[in-house]
Chains A and B, each alone.
Chain A
Amino acid sequence: MINRNISLNRGSYKQPNIFGYYGNFGGAYVPEMLYRNVEELRDQYLRIIYEDSFQQEFKALLKDYVGRPSPLYHAKRLSEHYRTKIYLKREDLNHTGAHKINNAIGQVLLALRLGKKRIIAETGAGQHGVATATICALKGIECVVYMGSKDIERQAPNVARMKMLGAEVVPATSGSQTLKDATNEAIRDWINHPDNTHYVIGSVVGPHPYPDMVARFQSVISEETRAQLKEQEGRELPTKVIACVGGGSNAAGAFYHFLDEESVELIAVEAAGLGVYSGHSAATTRLGKTGVLHGSKSLVMQTEDGQVIEPHSISAGMDYPGIGPLHAHLFESGRARFLSATDQQALDAAFELTRLEGIIPALESAHALAALKEIRFNPKDITVLCLSGRGDKDLDAFMKAFEVQPKNSYEQDQSVI
């Protein structure tokens, strides 16, 4: 199913062309100081990740360490509520609580095969940082995680986890002191350590080959989904796949093996924050323009003067001013439909899933859940929703929501069902 060749044309959905383009988006806009690192990765990644020994080790870790395959769970009460059939792809049950570990393991195994002795990563909410620190602990390799100093304050439990795992957490104090600045700092670290360091990017962003590499590591999500649907439904293809998009790694993984299946409707959900046009939003496809951020050409939220805007979302994992070039291409070509959900809609959807199914979702995944209200379903549809992470890390936000909501509003909501 996996094509190891890279096409010479404008690139397809599943793989960019040799310069890293999906249609009009992608490329490798990196300063010369990073050229050799990026070139090494570009020349080696496909060969290494499809070596038998790599695949064996990767798959064994995904199975025994992460706990894959993650269940494809038929959420009956949620399905009844929306009068259709909804499966949840339970990435929340992975070790460390989200899909991020799939990519972190893949990249660290790759780095070790490239002879790297030191791993760096950026993190926003801390999920990718925790996943990277986890696999580095397992492999006994040095790990440095860059995190915006504002995020360090907001995400204390994940900072503690990373430290307990032996990672050094370095505050990014430049710019707006959040994810995009942590990414800048990580890239600078890489520039300063060109020989021994691999930079584990956490999403399908960055210069080629990162978007393709991360998509391939996350594609295990849709690979399993196909097999599980075959087993549970007797068919490999769902009607719809829904996933949230910050940078877009869980969506890339959830869509990957359906990208070329035209009958499957792909739905990406962005964070609208306080409202798409409120000035406090992260809905990149609605607000962004073509630009260059963190090494690739994509849609970027920016001012008229081309300065990158600090986005807003209640969910730190959605709080990124761009999207991966694959998603920009899916948006531009119309292959995927892009919806958005506000902070409040995401909170409501999180409570709804919790009360209907006993599953507390991450706020990121709650954006995908919130979109269920916007979509017209046929009772015969089979919808797969990627539940990218669990909500333990978001309890603060949930508790604040409790304070402002009338105590029984969620039960009242349900009684209407």
Chain B
Amino acid sequence: MSRISQLFKKKKERILNIYFTAGFPELDSTLTLMKLLQENGADMIELGMPYSDPLADGPVIQSSGSRALCNGMTIAKLFEQLKDFRKEIDLPVVLMGYMNPILQFGFEKFCATCAVAGIDGLILPDLPEHEYELEYEAILKKYGLDFIFLVTPETSDARIRRLDAFSNGFLYAVSSSSITGKDKDFEEVDKYLSRLRSMNLKNPVLVGFGIKDRLSFQSACRHAAGAIIGTAFIRALENSASLKESVKGFMDAVLK
């Protein structure tokens, strides 16, 4: 059973997955932040691989990516940083990124390196399920990596079932058909999440996009196994004088 599935077996609710961009705010802050998140109550980490043209991300995450790229972050560099991270990090870790840099690195080589490093899964928003099925599913399976698809309020029930069937670990519910970092209408999100819950999907659901504080986290947790926070966490790091204090402050505000 994958590390992600084990987590959901052990803990059925209020799962908090924190996103941040690798190489931000400093090139070598990746591992420091992972440790701080583990110490401060995160259940899972979504590590963003910076890209010059991140279509599905909002301006805050894009600018963290630009800064990471300026800092010299690359996929090869990230794997160097992750070489021994399993000695210190027990949390499930998924990598999030875009197809182009991975295609350049080599898709299979990328998956193989993920597996050796101890990465648990991948989120690639611009990999469509048709291509996934045709070319990539077998490679991910070969290296034991979970692949997580996104669904939105506009996704039809039939398509949600199809994407759920392809996904392993969890299903990523975009809280509204929108790029990261925007405020959501909770009532509509509620309706959508209860629809997802009533479908009895194979995978647990984590809600992303627009989750930023305790209130929105709790609201998301009413109908889903947990939530993903990205933009708000990046904001908290943007002008941080001490990563240690910023992470603690942020996590306490969400969880306590």
Contacts and interface: CB of A to CB of B under 8 A. Distances in A.
29 contacts: A27-B128, A27-B131, A30-B55, A31-B56, A31-B125, A32-B163, A33-B56, A33-B152, A33-B154, A33-B178, A35-B128, A35-B154, A36-B152, A36-B154, A36-B177, A174-B62, A180-B53, A184-B53, A191-B179, A192-B179, A194-B154, A289-B104, A291-B100, A294-B55, A300-B100, A305-B76, A306-B102, A306-B103, A306-B105
B39 to A, nearest CB: 31
Interface string B57-97: 01100110010010000111000000000000000000000
Interface string A159-190: 00000000000000011000011001001100
A181 B54 CA distance: 10
Contacts of A175: 52-53, 62, 66
Contacts of B63: 174
Interface of A: 19, 27-33, 35-36, 174-175, 180-181, 184, 187-188, 191-192, 194, 289-295, 300, 302, 304-308
Closest 9 CB pairs of A and B: A306-B101, A306-B104, A31-B125, A31-B56, A32-B150, A305-B74, A307-B52, A292-B99, A36-B154
B182 interface: yes
Given A27-B131, A307-B101, A32 B174 contact: yes
B105 A35 contact: no
Contacts of B131: 27, 29
Contacts, number: 111
A142 B152 CA distance: 26
A308 B52 contact: yes
A305 B125 contact: no
Given A29-B127, A31-B150, A191-B55, 16 more contacts: A27-B131, A30-B128, A32-B150, A32-B152, A32-B174, A33-B174, A36-B154, A174-B59, A175-B62, A291-B104, A292-B98, A302-B104, A305-B74, A305-B75, A305-B76, A306-B75
A191 B178 contact: yes
Interface residues of B, number: 42
A191 B53 contact: no
Contacts of B76: 305
Contacts of B52: 175, 307-308
A174 B69 CA distance: 14
Contacts of B178: 33, 191-192
Interface of B: 51-56, 58-59, 62-63, 66, 69, 74-76, 98-105, 125-128, 130-131, 149-152, 154-155, 159, 163, 174, 177-179, 182
Contacts of B59: 174
A74 B160 CA distance: 58
Identify which of A175, A184, A188, A306 gathers the most chain B CB atoms within 10 Å of its CB: A306
Nearest to A188: B179
Contacts of A308: 52-53, 100
A293 B126 CA distance: 10
A68 to B, nearest CB: 35
Contacts of A30: 55, 126, 128
A290 B128 contact: no
A305 B101 contact: yes
Given A188-B55, A191-B178, A293-B100, A307 B150 contact: no
Contact of B177 (A194, A292, A306, A307): A194
